[in-house]
Chains A and B, each alone.
Chain A
Amino acid sequence: DAGITQSPRHKVTETGTPVTLRCHQTENHRYMYWYRQDPGHGLRLIHYSYGVKDTDKGEVSDGYSVSRSKTEDFLLTLESATSSQTSVYFCAISESKAAYTEAFFGQGTRLTVV
Chain B
Amino acid sequence: QQQVKQSPQSLIVQKGGISIINCAYENTAFDYFPWYQQFPGKGPALLIAIRPDVSEKKEGRFTISFNKSAKQFSLHIMDSQPGDSATYFCAANTGFQKLVFGTGTRLLVSP
Contact = CB atoms under 8 A, between A and B. Distances in A.
Interface of A: 4, 31, 33, 35, 40-45, 48, 50, 58-59, 90, 92, 94, 96-97, 99-108
Contact of A44 (B46, B97, B101): B101
A23 to B, nearest CB: 11
Contacts of B101: 42-44
15 contacts: A35-B99, A40-B103, A42-B2, A43-B44, A43-B101, A45-B98, A90-B44, A96-B97, A100-B51, A103-B46, A103-B97, A105-B36, A105-B43, A107-B42, A108-B43
Given A90-B44, A100-B49, A105-B43, A43 B89 contact: yes
Contacts of A104: 46
A102 B99 CA distance: 11
Contacts of B104: 42
Interface of B: 2, 4, 6, 31-32, 34, 36, 41-46, 49, 51, 89, 91, 93, 95-104
Contact of A103 (B31, B95, B99, B103): B99
A9 B87 CA distance: 20
Most chain B CB within a 10 A radius of its CB, from A43, A59, A90, A105: A43
B31 A99 contact: yes
B45 A33 contact: no
Contacts of B91: 43
A102 B89 CA distance: 14
A45 B3 CA distance: 13
Given A50-B96, A90-B43, A107-B43, A99 B6 contact: no
